[in-house]
A = this chain, B = another copy of it.
Amino acid sequence: MSRRVVVIGGVALGTKAACRAKRIDPTTQVTLIDKDEYISYGGCGIPYYVSGDVADHTALQSTAYHMVRNEEFFKTIKGFEEVVTGTTVTRIDREAKVVWAKGKDGVEKSYPYDKLVIGAGSRTRDLQIPGQELAGIHAVGNLEDAMAIKERIAGGSVESAVIVGAGFIGLEMAEALADMWGIETSVVEIGDQIMPGFVGKQMAHMAQRSMEENDVTFYLGETVKSFEGEEGAVKKVITDKRTLEADLVIMAVGILANGELARDAGLEVGATGGIVVNEKLQTTDPDIYSGGDCIELKHAISGKVGIWPLGSLANRQGRVIGTNMCGGSATTEAPVGSFVVKLFDKSLAGAGLTRKAAEEAGFDAISVSMCQLDRAHFYPEKELMFLELVVEKATKRVLGIQGFAGSGDAMVGRINAVAATLKYKPTILDISNLEFAYSPPFSSAMDIVNALANVADNVVDGLLNPIPVETFEGLWEEGECVFIDCRELPDSTPFKEKFPEKWMTIPQGEMKKRIAEVPEGKLVVLVCNTGVRSFEAQLNLREMGITNTVSVQGGMATLKTWGSKVSE
């Protein structure tokens, strides 16, 4: 008799697993059960649907060639036996190998299986904030939520919106509302930076600033205490510091894995709430597979267990499950946490660990950041790209990379290249030697990633003593030091005039012969355009016996993008 596969949840993982199984063994009988009406939609596209970039929600459910992936599609095109929507699975009876589910009619029915796939997904965390039941307060959990949000906006009644949470979904929704609908948009975030856990403070600050330039307001380190409304609809968001007007509130406060069904069936569920699986994506019952948002996975580098709500991961996992259900032995890998988020005309991306995450994982880590043009400097079109590399000091092992840039594709390509090596535990030398396809329209002869690794190398070896922007800002306010601009005169003149007491100009090429001008006994803060010449100046001064120097990482270009007062 042919293999009966039951799939719980038909968004990304479940349908992929079933389709793969059908391809390997067409006799496989597939039953797909989903609690919602809409299945197999691109959940990551919701912000683009809300913005209007994607006009119609059916586009999120379609194939690249405009076939809607609905019940009919999976039956006739993909050959599933049964597609049951609006139906909630109530229980898995592992002994009888049967799934019980309650249909639209309220009647419970059993579905026997040989192999079961749990793609139960996740739900938005419920913070139980007073007033959260008011109309106009939405999570972005599924397509129904998205349609409700869009309907409200398109109705024209939304003038101001508050987004709770400055992670991916929060920021993407902020762009959608502010950019395309002109809604006054604020983001309230409990942490002290946007994208906490994903990027370091410098990158976060630069990204936040670029969003502020696009009329999004941020309130960091604030907690939403309650919502207030009129006639049942939200009107105000009360935080621990202020009251914000809002006709629309988006709760983007993170997700919880839907692991309950598995737990109730006696399968192992971790402390995160996610289902425990092996590398073949089998749960503790070898005939039951799981993947996507409802499982927990260990980070490849930190080993930290977490939930990974990514459509890309779910698709890859689905294929592995499909293969294994048919007797194959495909395996998944521990994720390195590659991500990217587009924020108006800039992008923020990363892979591996931030410096903070590395320290939390027990690494004695440093991070170095730099900026460089994304193409050959003589090529007409080019932009600055900012990268940060996280490195374990003692071993020079590279633990992570983050980036911020205007040319998103170019930056993400570099993050992906470093990410591809992370499972092999690369050292700085590996990244310094990493071979990027070179041509002036695409990179510098010394690619920014190679250059970044070289900077890290210089720092670990003690050749270069850099400070990040945050430290520069502190020193600038405090004032117990001297700032030397190492650029040539035309570049440095305006600063010299603006800050005559603090700001000296000694071009790097003159540093050694003008050594007498360098004040003794004070910390010397060296600045140039991007940090290359201030590094050279630091070496020049060291050669002349002056060692109490620091070089500003990424130089004036970084100070400017970061929004330092000095660069105004």
Query: Would you call A566 an interface residue if the criterion is a C-beta within 8 Å of the partner chain's C-beta atoms?
Result: no
Q: Are the C-beta atoms of A338 and B438 separated by less than 8 Å? A: yes
Taken together as a complex, chains A and B put the C-alpha atoms of A62 and B379 apart, in Å, by 12
Query: Would you call A252 an interface residue if the criterion is a C-beta within 8 Å of the partner chain's C-beta atoms?
Result: no
**Closest CB of chain B to A342's CB: distance in Å?**
4
**Per-residue CB proximity of A483-499 to B under 8 Å, as 1/0?**
00001100100000000
Nearest neighbor of A16 in chain B, beta-carbon distance: B446
Query: Would you call A361 an interface residue if the criterion is a C-beta within 8 Å of the partner chain's C-beta atoms?
Result: no
For chain A, what secondary structure do more than half of its interface residues adopt (helix, strand, loop), or is it mixed? mixed
**Closest CB of chain B to A58's CB: distance in Å?**
9
- Report B-chain residues with C-beta under 8 Å of the C-beta of A197: none
Partner of A378, one of B48, B314, B432: B48
CB-CB contacts below 8 Å: A29-69 with B: 42, 44-45, 48-49, 53-54, 59-60, 62-65, 67
- Report B-chain residues with C-beta under 8 Å of the C-beta of A12: 445
Partner of A373, one of B24, B64, B332, B372: B64
Nearest neighbor of A49 in chain B, beta-carbon distance: B378
Q: Are the C-beta atoms of B509 and A312 separated by less than 8 Å? A: no
Query: Would you call A272 an interface residue if the criterion is a C-beta within 8 Å of the partner chain's C-beta atoms?
Result: no
This protein's copies in its complex: 2
Query: Would you call A413 an interface residue if the criterion is a C-beta within 8 Å of the partner chain's C-beta atoms?
Result: yes
Partner of A379, one of B27, B48, B410, B440: B48
Partner of A436, one of B338, B434, B491, B508: B338
- Report B-chain residues with C-beta under 8 Å of the C-beta of A417: 413, 416-417, 419-420
- Taking each of A332, A413, A435, which has the highest tally of chain B beta carbons within 10 Å of its own beta carbon? A435
**Closest CB of chain B to A555's CB: distance in Å?**
10
- Taking each of A48, A49, A65, A429, which has the highest tally of chain B beta carbons within 10 Å of its own beta carbon? A65
**Closest CB of chain B to A135's CB: distance in Å?**
28
Nearest neighbor of A447 in chain B, beta-carbon distance: B312
Q: Which residues of A contact B (CB under 8 A)?
A: 12, 16, 23-24, 26-27, 42, 44-45, 48-49, 53-54, 59-60, 62-65, 67, 76-77, 79, 168, 310-316, 319, 330-333, 335-336, 338-342, 347, 349-351, 372-373, 376-380, 407-410, 412-421, 424, 429, 432-443, 445-447, 450, 454, 458, 463, 487-488, 491, 508-510, 512, 529-530, 533, 535-536, 539-540, 542-543
Closest 8 A/B residue pairs (Cβ): A413-B413, A312-B438, A409-B409, A340-B437, A64-B377, A311-B445, A338-B437, A26-B543
